[in-house]
Every structure is written in C-alpha cells, then in structure tokens.
A and B are shown apart, each in its own frame.
Chain A
C-alpha cells in the first residue's frame, strides 16, 4: 500500500479466542497507583 503503512499489532478480535487467563499483572499495582491503564500490561500467555 503506497499511502498506508500498517504496524504489527496484536489482533484484539483474535485474542478473544484464547485470551482471558487472568494471569497478567493487576493494572495499577506496578507504578502509578493513581490511574488506570491496561495498555502497558504484559500478556503472560506464551501462546497468544
């Protein structure tokens, strides 16, 4: 595509099929303690 470059990203729709193990870190536990963001959480599943 000449004018569009798509970055490699995890497909969220696909992640509905095998996600949801619940092992990832609680969002606010690590550093901020005063806001909520989930984007900076690491997925703990080896097979995504």
Chain B
C-alpha cells in the first residue's frame, strides 16, 4: 500500500507496510503512481510525453528510475505487501489480562464550568465525588497485581480537577514510590490540571514526581475565557497563565504539555498555539473538541476544511521557527521515524479496555476516561477486577484491522484504527469510525512526515 502526496514543495511517497518514506522528484512521483498498473514501455512513453519539454528527462533516465523503483520494491521499501492482518491481535493476546496504565479519576468535580467539557464539568454525568486514599491505594495495588512482567506503569491523575483532591494525590504517589522497587515496577505519573489551584507546593511536588504535566489552556485570552469560566461566569485565563508559566519555568527540561481544545469558535487554532508560544510555552498540544454534532461548539464540515489548512500553516511555521532557533513542539507532529513504535504497537492501538483503564472515585473500572459514566461500559471494579469479560474481549478485538473502513487506509499503522470512544460516539460502535477525526488524523500525519522530508532535503 502506497500513499503519495505533494505538500510544501515536497513530493512524498509513503510505503505503509514497511514504514518507508521516500522524497522524490515529480518524474519519479509519476512513475511510482503508474508502476503497479502499467508495463515499463507504457510508463516510458507516458513520462516522455508529459515531460517532452524537459531536457533532463531522457528515455535512459526514465528507465533508470523505473529500475530504481523495482529495486526498492525488491528491498521491501516500496509496494510492500500488506501481510499483517493475521498478526493484528497478537500483542493483545500475548499480553493476556495485563493492565499497565490507569487513569485515576481522583476528583469528579471541578472548579471550572466549561460548557464543552466531555466530562460534564467533571461529574461524568454522575454525582460529584472525590476519590479516597483507600480507593486510590487499592487501584495502585490492582495495577501492580495486574501488570504481569511489565516494568513501566503509567498513572494519570485526572478529573474533573485533580488538584481539588491534592492531598490524596500526594499520598498515592508516596505510597507507589514506597513499594515500586520491591515490586519491580517503575511508576510514571501524569497530572492533568486546569491550573486554578496551582501553588508552590503543587509546583515543587509535580516537578519532582510527575513524568508529565498536562496544563489546560485554550490559547488566546478571548478564546480561553469564552468557555473556560468559573461558576460565576468569570474567565480563568488571567488566574492560570502566571501559574503555568511559573510551573513550566521551574520544570526545567522535564516533559509538559500545554493542552488546548479548539471548537467551532476557533477553527483557526494556530493563532492560539502561537499565542501559547508567545507566552513562553514550547510544548504544545491542541485537540478538536469532542462533542455531539448538535452542540454549538461542534466543528462543522466547513470548519474541518479550515482546520486542515491550519495544520499546514502550523507545520510550515514550525519549520521556520526551528530554523530561526526558537522551535516549538506540537504533540501530533512528534514522529520518530527511526526509533518509533514496532509493528505490534502500531497494530494493536491505544489499549483502552485491556491494558489501559479508567478508575472512578468509587473504584469502578471503565475502558477509558471517555466511557466513564456510561454504565453499559463498566468493566468491573478494583477489588474484583474485570468481571465484564465480554466487554473486555470486544475492546481486545479493536486493532488496525478491525474495521472495514480502515482496510485500504494508508494511515492505519499510524492510528491503529483510531479512538474507540470517538468511534462509539460517532457510529454507535467501538468498531466503527469517526470520519472527520480520520480526515484530520491523516492530515496531521501528512504534515508531520512532510516536516521530516523537508528537513532531510535541506540537510543535503
């Protein structure tokens, strides 16, 4: 399976199944497009006709290029056959019932009242609640007991707003640190916060213990304050930005992300990302809103087209800023071509409902944070483990080959079949697809790869 596209002056060929990426000139681009469906003589004739006014395109030259394409095919770097279907479920099968990552909902309550919140202002369609230390400790024990031979365990302190239960977060981290060595585990903690309650204690502790912090900021003040308001209706921008700046400054080189959501109000979201950069933040992530199509915040089909253009603007601007010596990182453009994930990971997807689960303040288990509150998706609890094994099996069956729509998609080994929650909310099935999400995902990967190609070409 081969995907060809032109972007920012680059002609790019992706060989999906080998992971190979080729930067080609327009002649090779056309030859590759014809290669599988035309005899060499036909290709030569067609290319010479198309480029009749070009002195550098000779018959001999075209034949050499065709031979190069043939060599790449023989080397398994072009037109690599799609033979992974039978392997698609193997990593999850091999992993058995291993759980290695939990999203701990330590606070089903929030001090902001953002109308677009997928978690219904932190309540996840239920009662307000805080997780007790005892429930959190049992969740960590459940994780260690369920993680088999896995060494790295991930725990995200999530909400609602986790800082509203900060003392419990600190005690849970202390507990995990006190037992991880003897259990042969390494905890990696993430804190996702709206920033309202950040103080010096939070900064010191988070920067010591959290592998990553995710800080919610939607960008420009007028955009942020439009939806991210407190219960009196006041915007939160002026209160949180100085706190975020202080935390990030103190964090040094450790991971963090400024994480925004864009909606129908700002499909031109790069302005918000660049605003974050102006505030001194360099590690940026911005996501399309997840909500019902009739929600006023929902992106329209017209917005989706604007967003695609915005992704191109962002990629070009990032290349420019890097050259100028003040680079920014965008989460979805991070792609490591040489040391990225193996084929098993690429086939098996996000792990929701199998190796990754969300825990409610009451200790119930759900496939991921986006399913919390929907009773039909309750997997079990942290005392008894997974009792709804049929539900777990249905999540286990999600992979890059589980959806008919993905069969011929060039991007399936970059997204692994996509987000089960998005698919469910859009189609009614976790084995469905969320088409606008697919379109944006493909665009992001095209941009991310274009940036790699552009830099490689400029190095020589």
| A residues in contact (CB < 8 Å) with B | 1-13, 15-16, 18-20, 22-45, 48
Contacts and interface: CB of A to CB of B under 8 A. Distances in A.
Contacts, number: 221
B68 A4 contact: yes
A25 B22 CA distance: 28
B455 to A, nearest CB: 10
A3 B28 CA distance: 6
Contact of A16 (B21, B28, B344): B344
Nearest to B416: A38
A13 B339 contact: no
A35 to B, nearest CB: 5
A36 B332 contact: no
A43 B339 contact: yes
A43 B23 CA distance: 25
A19 B61 CA distance: 40
Nearest to A37: B415
B interface bracket (residues with beta carbon within 8 Å of A): 35 or more
Contacts of B344: 15-16, 19-20, 22
Contacts of B25: 3-4
B336 A42 contact: yes
A26 B368 CA distance: 11
B103 interface: yes
B413 A12 contact: yes
Nearest to A23: B152
A10 B415 contact: no
A3 B19 CA distance: 20
Contacts of B174: none
Q: Which 5 A-B pairs have CB atoms at the shortest separation, nearest pair first?
A: A19-B342, A20-B344, A3-B28, A15-B342, A26-B101
Nearest to A11: B18
Contacts of B20: 6-7, 9, 11
Given A26-B100, A36-B418, 4 more contacts: A12-B413, A31-B331, A33-B370, A37-B415
B364 interface: no
B193 to A, nearest CB: 13
A40 B332 contact: yes
Contacts of B152: 23, 25, 44
Given A4-B72, A16-B87, A29-B103, A41 B414 contact: no
Contact of A34 (B150, B417, B422): B422
